[in-house]
Structure 1
Amino acid sequence: MDAAAKGRDGEEQAVESGAEHGKKVSFAGLFRYADGTDLLLMLVGTVAALANGVSQPLMTVIFGDVIDAFGGATTANVLSRVNKAVLSFVYLGIGTAVVSFLQVSCWTITGERQATRIRSLYLKSVLRQDISFFDVEMTTGKIVSRMSGDTVLVQDAIGEKVGKFLQLVASFLGGFIVAFVKGWLLALVMLACIPPVVIAGGAVSKVLSKISSKGQTSYSDAGNVVEQTIGAIKTVVSFNGEKQAIATYNKHIHKAYKTAVEEGLTNGFGMGSVFFIFFSSYGLAIWYGGKLVLSKGYTGGQVITILMAIMTGAMSLGNATPCMTAFAGGQSAAYRLFTTIKRKPEIDPDDKTGKQLEDIRGEVELKDVYFSYPARPEQLIFDGFSLRVASGTTMAIVGESGSGKSTVISLVERFYDPQAGEVLIDGINIKSLRLDSIRGKIGLVSQEPLLFMTSIKDNITYGKENATIEEIKRAAELANAANFIDKLPNGYDTMVGQRGAQLSGGQKQRIAITRAIIKNPKILLLDEATSALDVESERIVQEALNRIMVDRTTLVVAHRLTTVRNADCISVVQQGKIVEQGSHDELVVNPDGAYSQLIRLQESRAEEEQKVDRRISDPRSKSTSLSLKGSISRNSSGNSSRHSFTLPFGLPGTVELTETNDTYGKNQNEQDNDCEIPKKAPMGRLALLNKPEVPILLLGSIAAGVHGVLFPLFGVMISSAIKTFYEPPEKLKKDSSFWGLMCVVLGVVSIISIPVEMFLFGIAGGKLIERIRALSFRSIIHQEVAWFDDPKNSSGALGARLSVDALNVRRLVGDNLALTVQIISTLITGFIIAVVADWKLSFIILCVIPLVGLQGYAQVKFLKGFSQDAKMMHEDASQVATDAVSSIRTVASFCSEKRITSIYDQKCEASMNQGVRTGIVGGIGFGFSFLMLYLTYGLCFYVGAQFVRHGKSNFGDVFQVFFALVLATVGVSQTSAMATDSTKAKDSAISIFALLDRKSEIDSSSNEGLTLDEVKGNIDFQHVSFKYPTRPDIQIFSDFTLHIPSGKTVALVGESGSGKSTVIALLERFYNPDSGCLRSCDGWQDHGCCGTPPLDDKKCRYHCSSQGWCNSGKRKA
């Protein structure tokens, strides 16, 4: 016992220690689940990535050759010299296109394949674990989080980022090799510019991480308010808690606004610093390069090649940081996942070494068992416990709560092994039997049956996978389930909802019984199978159980002693030991026995309840009793019948309930109308939300305009500097110093304009997010309760909408406004510079230059990673895993591990195929973009050489036009790629205004209506008809009439689903009746007439204590 417990504890500590202290697998260990195909893909992808990385330093060499060809040639030979370099661009473009395609597609495909395999292995291993694993080491939430979160981190670390990292490493090494080969002295000087970039980037990242963490904490707190408020919306509404919830929410999002401003300023300084160092580095290179041209015989092409090669290497090193971050995250995530995958459980359903029994008699025996639960090893449940159940007999186990009754079931199912003693079936220790063999002979029905989110038929077939429809129907008839299933609109194909939410407790229990007996088990385990049901449902289910227990060995764990009177033998358990045993008649003979004491205890409780019932039913008392009959299952039959119940205390009126088969009616139509939202985003209204920040936006736009001219002006400086290198010495010395200084000035402008821009837009964007979230939450919380019944309006969905929609709209109005101003400024400035230099050449290059934009867009998109959409691709598969893990005892008892894994794999296959297509399409696009880039460069220089040859342009003008337009286009394309998806943003805007414009049918914020100074408390339901909006095919009330005088007490009783709680819901005005009138509080009306008091005034006079009571966080309703 101790060794086993310590082993599990040790492993748990190892896992937790790994999580807490950053334990991780080695980088090579990430790929341990790669197969032969993956190894081939990785090999090809590696070679291609290295080749692709080398291509960029080679491009700088060709670019230098072009500069030397122009600068050192005459009008007569310029074309022939330039053509050689142009051909090099063509060859480089074709080669780069091929290797880029192979790099992206191979690494993306293998990452998707391996991640899918890891997910499958993880779920398979989790389902394989013994129950103690879930008691001690892992929760459902952790498992689902790891399957959805950690596997994405691993995929990031083994997918396209590996190829990108190899490409960047090759570019880094290649760039420095080219630079030192071309001119080691200038390369050495340029190296001094790299540490400042690294220091600035690292410092900004660290500060941003802290600020972002603060903001996320605030948003998380706000999200908790949303979750708690909407999750307990009826409680919040009942106690007029909307204002308090709104105030708490607004407090948290205001904190988030402050961090958004800090983040904008920090981001601005970070980007401004990088631009300053970048421009200043070029300034240094131009000034010192001019000196080297004069003193060391460098050419202008050499200087530019060294400069571009060093900057390419440095930028590659910087761009590799996100990849290394992804690797670290993936290694930590892989440690957590792989530890579970490798874990071998003590009770292993995959172990095939045990005996396999074809048939059993069904004799069960627990022999001198010692047992404590792994989660509570210090608490001994059984201390030498023994029990024998003969074949074909029924043994009932009764006792106080915590005495060990259900533990017997768990040991027979072999969810746990005893620390000492034996559990025998037909005299054989179950440890020596194959687990699937013995569990296949046992049927289990638990107190709270868990159904999977699929059809009734599929749920039943978990008991017997290949069962025919005839077998299913026979089992359903035996379990008393056939009648209600046949009355459902879709019969056996009816979906049961999450955890069977669409069925009543009795219906779920009967489905569970059908599932248990369809495999015709020799041993039947009933673990308080009726204790959670109402009296009528218990009677129906008990009849089914009595029918199926015939000729089976049955172990019944029961709380209600009335259900075990007919058992062959009853064992009374106290503190882990059997204190009495015998039939009911034998045990009641001893009045002082434990069984007799239990009976008297339950009877005394029953008598107390009966006294209360008699007091309630007494017409002379102030109480009233009402019985509502007619359940959901009866209503769903579609027949129309009228039931009229006379109140037993002689009050005027009757309670009438009409059952109809009326389908989608008024409420549904109204709900559908609510869903009709405008197709076009109201951009004008959206801008008005930012109206208070207009001055800030105008100042930010000016700063963005200055930011936009930086790249075109930089193009002028570079082209002028290139021309300078081929001028006479005195002019070269003077001009190189001047243009080097201008680059530094440009850097100073950038370190001022960019922080100002991002700070101001951070204020405007942060205010917009705060305003949208506040308005949206206010609108949400004032919607009628019926609106929240729709799954689309669950707390999770609405929380996501508040977060995602506000962020998308902020980007559309705030970020994109800044980017739009930048783009316009860049294009206008670049166009003017190019046209002034040479308008003919400008218009020719403008015809092909958009292809460079395509390359820049694709490049930035790839750097952001194709894997960003991976988090959205596994929702269906995650639901399968969630259902399985949360119902692990059900899965284990029916040996459904392989079936669940198979279903999960099928769901994952679709997303994996999508990932493969993404890899191929992404590879084609990435390769094509490089091809177009280099072909465009070649074409531009070829046309420029033609112009120079024919005397229509000169060397300086060609490069001024080229750099002005190319750098302007690259700046625009990279800026555009960083912009938000406008389609998503516009959809979010539509969603937000649909929410803000939706008028609640029952608005608690409305002040319309009367305010009563004093209330007596008369309540009157007059001919009320009602259907829940989410179940329009089920009539709850039809012509329902009820009068409750002031000061009287009414008890509503009846079957599950008969409408008892609906009376409370209508009285609280969670819903409005479809027709009829509800009068309360001295004649004013809740619905149907004018003169209704405001909801907050009315609810102040109610107090409701409901079954599903909820207290949220620090807020107390």
Structure 2
Amino acid sequence: MGEETMRDRGDSNEEAEGSEKKGAGATKVPFFSMFRYAERGDLALMAVGTVAAMVNGMSDPLMTVVFSTVIESFGAGDNSTVLQRVSKDVMYYIYLGIGSAVASFLQVLCWTLAGERQAIRIRSLYLEAVLKQDVSFFDVEMTTGEAISRMSVDTVLVQDALGEKVGKYAQLLTTCVGCFAIGFIRGWMLALVMLACIPPNILSFAIVARFRAQISARRQASYGEAGNVVEQTIGAIRTVVSFNGEKRAIALYKTLTKRAYKATVLEGAVTGLGTGGIFSVFFCSYSLAFWYGAKLIIDKGYTGGQVINVVFAILMGSMAIGTASPSISAIAEGQSAAHRLFETINRKSKIDITNTSGIVLDDIKGNVELNNVFFRYPARPEQLILNGLSLQVASGTTMAIVGESGSGKSTIISLVERFYDPEAGDVLIDGINIKTMKLQWIRGMISLVSQEPLLFMTSIKDNITYGKEDATLEEIKRAAELANAANFIEKLPNAYETMVGQNGAQLSGGQKQRIAIARAILKNPRVLLLDEATSALDVESERVVQEALNRIMVGITTLIVAHRLSTVRNADCIAVVHQGKVVERGKR
């Protein structure tokens, strides 16, 4: 698009700092809202996985009971009796091992499958949501690099939070509850004293979890900006190389990743201190527990096995809280990532390509009219681009739009294509406001050829058929002939199956432009929009491309944005645009 559509990005470091602040204050979705896209099969998997996690979680509390029984057996009777009792008691370990193996298998399998299925669904919904957004969304709210980063990074975080980490958390929660229950049943006095060790544990965990969630959001924001730098640099590698911009790109990337690195180091320090504090509390708890347990054996008739059972049950329950920290942190990160993804998924586009409502005609003649149109770009709301512009293009005629840079020429093309809607005024085709027409249908009637056409990294044939998916080979060749591209295509080793490279790098500018024209022709449009389609070409390439354009413009309503006289020479009418208005109009 023209110069009017460019975003004013400002200094790169300021942009990165702004994103970092934005990430630091990122909000989260409620836990159960993360599962909003779960289907019945996912719910069944999660139910089985939860039951298995609870069974698996009870293995540790039951192990403390078996352990205390074995301890009691060591001091009971003579040697032969001890061996018999211990042999009988240790069988319970085998039973627990078998049950834990089966439960652990079902827990991990079911939750991993459920998380993967939902993550795939979220990825698809996110891509669909991004593709149906209006162009202003990419001007203001999200860059392509951010969209790709969220697709590759945030979906992984959500998948982790929806999958095994939830099963692990359910397991550890069951372990905690089961251990506390057994501890109080076996010796409530000792268990009650040991509860004094729990608040410091929980406090350490809560502080760690909170700081990790905040630091993670900042780290992901930095990685998103870094991914944006890589996407822009590699996507424009020829420009970067020609201006010796490699060092600048590397420096900016290092700056952003350094911020992510600092956030990761800080997260590691917080986690390390928190984990150290938790284990410090554990060992102090051992000291208190065994000292008080000895007093209870003397004063209250507790047994050694009973004391061991209570101590290990309470401490194991406390340890389960600390062990759950990585799972809770992963879930918290997933909630933050889900908020970013769901915000885009739930965003209602002002210009929605998936909207099936609207007028659909049998055909259109191609009369184009802009009536008293006012427009500002969302990225620059302070600058009025079109100021009451009115323009009429009769069916089958060619209108050339000329004017100085920034006058609003390319904006007219964008409004006719309905990339944007005007603030005021109407854009009409055959006297009907295009807002009332079915968007996908009306865009099917319009073809756009830009100054720098984008070719996809596939074959020439696939690039041409992008304009019409069900096109036959004869139609493709016919379009290539009309675009004056058939001769050079057939001379290539693989003809129409020749790969064009990234952004068409294997072809010259004129060849790319002619393929883009063939793609536009294949749609059989009623309205053709040419946004400085030959301005970047050399004289010979311009002559060839212009011949192709002159051939296809016959009988098609055509709007040409141009600077060169050779481009507008064959136009039926020329309109001069100045400061957002048509100031002069006349025939050639």
Q: What TM-score results when the alignment is normalised by the length of structure 2?
A: 0.85
Q: Secondary structure at the match of 2:381?
A: coil
Q: Which of 427, 441, 448 pairs up with 2:445?
A: 441
Q: How do residues 760-799 of structure 1 correspond to structure 2 at under 5 angstroms?
A: none
Deviation sequence 1:632-659 (CA, Å, 0-9, x none): xxxxxxxxxxxxxxxxxxxxxxxxxxxx
One-letter amino acid matched to 1:536: E
CA spacing shift, 1:165–1:431, aligned 2, 3 Å: same
Q: Secondary structure at the match of 1:351?
A: coil
Aligned 8 A contact 2:375 2:387 in 1:
yes
The aligned counterpart of 1:427 is 431
Deviation sequence 1:559-583 (CA, Å, 0-9, x none): 1122111111111111222222222
Aligned 8 A contact 2:402 2:576 in 1:
yes
One-letter amino acid matched to 1:116: I
Offset at 1:179? Answer: 0.7
Q: Which of 514, 528, 531 pairs up with 1:527?
A: 531
Q: Is residue 72 of structure 1 aligned with residue 72 of structure 2?
A: no
Larger radius of gyration: 1
CA spacing shift, 1:570–1:160, aligned 2, 3 Å: same
Structure 1: how far apart are the matches of 2:290 and 2:39? 52
Q: Is residue 511 of structure 1 aligned with residue 522 of structure 2?
A: no
Offset at 1:419? Answer: 2.4
Q: How do residues 846-865 of structure 1 correspond to structure 2 at under 5 angstroms?
A: none
Aligned 8 A contact 1:17 1:23 in 2:
no
CA spacing shift, 1:547–1:232, aligned 2, 3 Å: closer
Structure 1: 5+ residue stretches without partners: 1-14, 585-1117
Offset at 1:204? Answer: 7.8
Q: Secondary structure at the match of 1:579?
A: strand
The aligned counterpart of 1:401 is 405
Structure 1: how far apart are the matches of 2:224 and 2:150? 19
Q: Is residue 372 of structure 1 aligned with residue 376 of structure 2?
A: yes
Q: Secondary structure at the match of 2:319?
A: helix
Aligned 8 A contact 1:111 1:158 in 2:
yes
One-letter amino acid matched to 2:419: F
Deviation sequence 1:104-143 (CA, Å, 0-9, x none): 1111111111111111111111111111222222221222
Q: Which of 114, 132, 138 pairs up with 1:134?
A: 138
Q: Is residue 284 of structure 1 aligned with residue 288 of structure 2?
A: yes
Q: Which of 108, 111, 115 pairs up with 2:112?
A: 108
Q: How do residues 25-44 of structure 1 correspond to structure 2 at under 5 angstroms?
A: 25-44=29-48
Q: How do residues 409-488 of structure 1 correspond to structure 2 at under 5 angstroms?
A: 409-488=413-492
Offset at 1:187? Answer: 1.5
Deviation sequence 1:682-715 (CA, Å, 0-9, x none): xxxxxxxxxxxxxxxxxxxxxxxxxxxxxxxxxx
Q: How do residues 688-767 of structure 1 correspond to structure 2 at under 5 angstroms?
A: none
Q: Is residue 151 of structure 1 aligned with residue 155 of structure 2?
A: yes
Q: Is residue 165 of structure 1 aligned with residue 130 of structure 2?
A: no
CA spacing shift, 1:451–1:186, aligned 2, 3 Å: same
The aligned counterpart of 1:579 is 583
Q: Which of 334, 344, 348 pairs up with 1:344?
A: 348
Aligned 8 A contact 2:53 2:103 in 1:
yes
Deviation sequence 1:773-801 (CA, Å, 0-9, x none): xxxxxxxxxxxxxxxxxxxxxxxxxxxxx
Q: How do residues 1034-1053 of structure 1 correspond to structure 2 at under 5 angstroms?
A: none
The aligned counterpart of 2:394 is 390
The aligned counterpart of 1:305 is 309
Q: Is residue 501 of structure 1 aligned with residue 505 of structure 2?
A: yes
Offset at 1:433? Answer: 1.3
Deviation sequence 1:229-287 (CA, Å, 0-9, x none): 99999999999999999999999999999999999999887766555543443333333
One-letter amino acid matched to 2:73: A
CA spacing shift, 1:20–1:221, aligned 2, 3 Å: closer
Identity of paired residues, percent? 68
CA spacing shift, 1:24–1:171, aligned 2, 3 Å: same
Q: Secondary structure at the match of 2:79?
A: coil
One-letter amino acid matched to 1:133: F
The aligned counterpart of 1:176 is 180
Aligned 8 A contact 1:517 1:548 in 2:
yes
CA spacing shift, 1:111–1:365, aligned 2, 3 Å: same
Aligned 8 A contact 1:56 1:171 in 2:
yes
Deviation sequence 1:691-743 (CA, Å, 0-9, x none): xxxxxxxxxxxxxxxxxxxxxxxxxxxxxxxxxxxxxxxxxxxxxxxxxxxxx
The aligned counterpart of 1:563 is 567
Aligned 8 A contact 1:442 1:524 in 2:
yes
One-letter amino acid matched to 1:55: S
Alignment root-mean-square deviation, CA: 4.3
Structure 2: how far apart are the matches of 1:241 and 1:453? 24
Aligned 8 A contact 1:193 1:281 in 2:
yes
The aligned counterpart of 2:197 is 193
Structure 2: how far apart are the matches of 1:38 and 1:390? 57
Offset at 1:171? Answer: 0.7
Structure 2: how far apart are the matches of 1:179 and 1:21? 41
Deviation sequence 1:552-605 (CA, Å, 0-9, x none): 111111111221111111111112222222222xxxxxxxxxxxxxxxxxxxxx
Aligned 8 A contact 2:449 2:531 in 1:
yes
Q: How do residues 1003-1014 of structure 1 correspond to structure 2 at under 5 angstroms?
A: none
Structure 1: how far apart are the matches of 2:202 and 2:359? 65
Aligned 8 A contact 1:64 1:304 in 2:
yes
Q: Secondary structure at the match of 1:460?
A: helix
Aligned 8 A contact 2:400 2:573 in 1:
yes
Q: Which of 319, 323, 331 pairs up with 2:323?
A: 319
Aligned 8 A contact 2:357 2:438 in 1:
yes
Structure 1: how far apart are the matches of 2:140 and 2:113? 37
Q: Secondary structure at the match of 1:191?
A: helix
Aligned 8 A contact 1:70 1:82 in 2:
yes
Aligned 8 A contact 2:217 2:336 in 1:
no
Q: Secondary structure at the match of 1:453?
A: coil
Q: Secondary structure at the match of 2:380?
A: coil
The aligned counterpart of 2:11 is none
Q: Secondary structure at the match of 1:192?
A: helix
Aligned 8 A contact 2:464 2:518 in 1:
yes
Aligned 8 A contact 1:403 1:574 in 2:
yes
One-letter amino acid matched to 1:414: R
Q: Which of 54, 78, 82 pairs up with 2:58?
A: 54
Deviation sequence 1:23-81 (CA, Å, 0-9, x none): 33221211111111111112222222222212210111112112222222432323432
One-letter amino acid matched to 1:527: D
The aligned counterpart of 1:1076 is none
Aligned 8 A contact 2:25 2:214 in 1:
no
Structure 2: how far apart are the matches of 1:414 and 1:361? 18
CA spacing shift, 1:538–1:327, aligned 2, 3 Å: same
One-letter amino acid matched to 2:526: K
One-letter amino acid matched to 1:438: I
Aligned 8 A contact 2:144 2:228 in 1:
no
The aligned counterpart of 1:933 is none
Q: Secondary structure at the match of 2:383?
A: coil
